Structure 1
Amino acid sequence: MSMLDKLKGLIKGHPDQARQGVEKAGDAFDTKTQNKYQSQVDAVQRKMNEQIDADRPPTDEQR
Protein backbone atom coordinates (compact mmCIF):
# COMPACT_ATOMS: atom_id res chain seq x y z
CA MET A 1 0.00 0.00 0.00
CA SER A 2 1.44 3.35 -1.03
CA MET A 3 1.59 6.42 1.16
CA LEU A 4 -1.10 8.09 -0.97
CA ASP A 5 -3.46 5.16 -0.40
CA LYS A 6 -2.85 5.39 3.34
CA LEU A 7 -3.63 9.12 3.32
CA LYS A 8 -6.81 8.56 1.33
CA GLY A 9 -7.87 5.95 3.87
CA LEU A 10 -7.30 8.34 6.74
CA ILE A 11 -9.17 11.18 5.04
CA LYS A 12 -12.14 9.06 4.01
CA GLY A 13 -15.05 9.86 6.28
CA HIS A 14 -13.32 12.91 7.77
CA PRO A 15 -13.33 15.56 5.02
CA ASP A 16 -13.90 18.49 7.37
CA GLN A 17 -10.89 17.62 9.51
CA ALA A 18 -8.79 17.06 6.37
CA ARG A 19 -9.79 20.46 5.01
CA GLN A 20 -8.84 22.08 8.33
CA GLY A 21 -5.48 20.32 8.21
CA VAL A 22 -4.82 21.57 4.67
CA GLU A 23 -5.61 25.14 5.73
CA LYS A 24 -3.49 24.91 8.87
CA ALA A 25 -0.51 23.44 6.99
CA GLY A 26 -0.76 26.12 4.30
CA ASP A 27 -0.95 28.88 6.88
CA ALA A 28 2.08 27.47 8.70
CA PHE A 29 4.05 27.32 5.45
CA ASP A 30 3.06 30.91 4.62
CA THR A 31 4.22 32.03 8.07
CA LYS A 32 7.57 30.24 7.71
CA THR A 33 8.19 31.72 4.25
CA GLN A 34 6.79 35.16 5.14
CA ASN A 35 4.10 34.74 2.42
CA LYS A 36 6.76 34.54 -0.31
CA TYR A 37 4.92 31.63 -1.96
CA GLN A 38 1.39 32.54 -0.90
CA SER A 39 -0.19 32.27 -4.36
CA GLN A 40 1.34 28.83 -4.94
CA VAL A 41 0.28 27.64 -1.48
CA ASP A 42 -3.27 28.88 -2.10
CA ALA A 43 -3.36 27.03 -5.43
CA VAL A 44 -2.24 23.80 -3.76
CA GLN A 45 -4.81 24.25 -0.98
CA ARG A 46 -7.58 24.70 -3.58
CA LYS A 47 -6.48 21.58 -5.48
CA MET A 48 -6.29 19.51 -2.31
CA ASN A 49 -9.73 20.66 -1.19
CA GLU A 50 -11.12 19.79 -4.63
CA GLN A 51 -9.61 16.32 -4.31
CA ILE A 52 -11.08 15.89 -0.83
CA ASP A 53 -14.50 16.91 -2.16
CA ALA A 54 -14.14 14.56 -5.16
CA ASP A 55 -13.73 11.61 -2.80
CA ARG A 56 -16.83 12.61 -0.84
CA PRO A 57 -20.04 10.71 -1.69
CA PRO A 58 -22.79 12.90 -3.19
CA THR A 59 -25.42 14.21 -0.80
CA ASP A 60 -29.14 14.50 -1.55
CA GLU A 61 -28.61 18.17 -2.47
CA GLN A 62 -26.02 17.25 -5.14
CA ARG A 63 -28.21 14.63 -6.86
Structure 2
Amino acid sequence: MKERLKTLKDNEQKLKTAWLQIKSLREKLEFRIYNGEFLIKEEISDYKLKGYGIRKVNKNG
Protein backbone atom coordinates (compact mmCIF):
# COMPACT_ATOMS: atom_id res chain seq x y z
CA MET A 1 0.00 0.00 0.00
CA LYS A 2 2.84 2.39 0.86
CA GLU A 3 4.54 1.59 -2.43
CA ARG A 4 1.34 2.32 -4.37
CA LEU A 5 0.94 5.64 -2.56
CA LYS A 6 4.54 6.56 -3.39
CA THR A 7 3.94 5.71 -7.06
CA LEU A 8 0.82 7.88 -7.13
CA LYS A 9 2.69 10.79 -5.55
CA ASP A 10 5.58 10.37 -8.01
CA ASN A 11 3.14 10.38 -10.95
CA GLU A 12 1.40 13.46 -9.58
CA GLN A 13 4.75 15.28 -9.37
CA LYS A 14 5.65 14.26 -12.94
CA LEU A 15 2.33 15.60 -14.21
CA LYS A 16 2.82 18.90 -12.36
CA THR A 17 6.30 19.23 -13.86
CA ALA A 18 5.02 18.48 -17.36
CA TRP A 19 2.22 21.04 -16.96
CA LEU A 20 4.72 23.73 -15.94
CA GLN A 21 6.88 22.89 -18.97
CA ILE A 22 3.88 23.09 -21.29
CA LYS A 23 2.81 26.39 -19.72
CA SER A 24 6.33 27.78 -20.15
CA LEU A 25 6.48 26.68 -23.79
CA ARG A 26 3.07 28.18 -24.50
CA GLU A 27 4.24 31.51 -23.06
CA LYS A 28 7.30 31.44 -25.34
CA LEU A 29 5.18 31.08 -28.45
CA GLU A 30 3.81 34.25 -29.92
CA PHE A 31 1.24 33.86 -32.68
CA ARG A 32 0.65 36.66 -35.11
CA ILE A 33 -1.14 36.66 -38.42
CA TYR A 34 0.66 38.59 -41.13
CA ASN A 35 -0.57 38.32 -44.71
CA GLY A 36 -2.44 35.15 -43.80
CA GLU A 37 0.64 33.42 -42.35
CA PHE A 38 1.26 32.43 -38.77
CA LEU A 39 4.50 33.77 -37.37
CA ILE A 40 5.89 31.96 -34.34
CA LYS A 41 8.56 33.34 -32.07
CA GLU A 42 10.15 29.89 -31.63
CA GLU A 43 9.89 26.83 -33.82
CA ILE A 44 7.55 24.44 -32.06
CA SER A 45 9.07 21.55 -34.02
CA ASP A 46 12.18 21.95 -31.83
CA TYR A 47 10.18 20.43 -29.01
CA LYS A 48 8.86 16.91 -28.64
CA LEU A 49 6.74 15.34 -25.97
CA LYS A 50 8.97 12.85 -24.18
CA GLY A 51 7.38 10.70 -21.51
CA TYR A 52 5.86 13.07 -18.99
CA GLY A 53 7.71 16.18 -20.09
CA ILE A 54 8.83 18.27 -23.00
CA ARG A 55 12.43 18.37 -24.07
CA LYS A 56 14.14 20.45 -26.69
CA VAL A 57 15.57 18.38 -29.50
CA ASN A 58 18.50 19.24 -31.68
CA LYS A 59 17.98 20.06 -35.33
CA ASN A 60 19.71 16.83 -36.45
CA GLY A 61 17.44 14.51 -34.47
Q: What's the TM-score once normalised by structure 2's chain length? A: 0.38
**Structure with larger Rg:** 2
- Which structure's residues are more often strand, by fraction? 2
- Larger RCO: 1 or 2 (CA < 8 Å, sep 6+): 1
